[in-house]
Chain A
Amino acid sequence: GENVEQHPSTLSVQEGDSAVIKCTYSDSASNYFPWYKQELGKGPQLIIDIRSNVGEKKDQRIAVTLNKTAKHFSLHITETQPEDSAVYFCAAVRGSSNTGKLIFGQGTTLQVKP
């Protein structure tokens, strides 16, 4: 089955710097890759997603890139702010987003220092 590896497990950056979180997946049939942000004591919040027919997607300060050949995808946050501090999870879905189960990475704790 699908396996998703996420790195790094913790990441500390200065406010204003960029942060990059990387994930690799094992199942070449996976074709939907969402990213979630989870604040302490809350449920995960979908922040951006990408489908396998797209190489890059951007939404303001957040961008995701996908390399299908290498089977990895990354989350890029620019101009980080203290409120970006949270745990970020990547996930992969085999099949369409309407039918497949999410397979999560291990999570990355991002700390943005003021």
Chain B
Amino acid sequence: GAVVSQHPSWVICKSGTSVKIECRSLDFQATTMFWYRQFPKQSLMLMATSNEGSKATYEQGVEKDKFLINHASLTLSTLTVTSAHPEDSSFYICSARQEAQYFGPGTRLLVL
């Protein structure tokens, strides 16, 4: 149990376009999901906490207009990187909480 999926697993886009990443809890309902960003050989950096039916809570320094989060159901949260730039290239990982936090497989974003 406690399986979390992400889609897509990787995406390449042109600078200026927007990219949507989906995070789904497959076998449980999650009122809270989290979005992280990870740079090579570094730890996970929490970007925001996604709460079902309410606005996301962003960590200090994370632009909420840049990284749009929607948690429309108990099994789905989406992260949209708007007007992506090369510096947004990274590994984005979501997690869903069911007592413990369970992570998705990650999405690698490359902005050209």
B9 (CB) vs chain A CBs: closest residue? A41
Complex CA–CA separation, A4 to B22 (angstroms): 29
A41 — which chain B residues lie within 8 A by C-beta?
106, 108
CB pair B106–A43 under 8 Å, yes or no, is: yes
A34-B100, A46-B101 given; A101·B43 CB < 8 A: no
A43-B93, A44-B93, A98-B97 given; A104·B103 CB < 8 A: no
Which residues of chain A from 7 to 48 have a CB within 8 Å of any chain B CB? 34, 36, 41-46
CB pair B103–A44 under 8 Å, yes or no, is: yes
Complex CA–CA separation, A105 to B45 (angstroms): 11
Complex CA–CA separation, A101 to B6 (angstroms): 20
A102 — which chain B residues lie within 8 A by C-beta?
34, 44, 46, 95, 101
CB pair A45–B103 under 8 Å, yes or no, is: yes
Asked whether B28 is an interface residue with its Cβ less than 8 Å from the other chain, the reply is no
CB pair A89–B99 under 8 Å, yes or no, is: no
B residues touching A (Cβ–Cβ < 8 Å)?
4, 6, 34, 42-44, 46, 49, 93, 95, 97, 99-106, 108
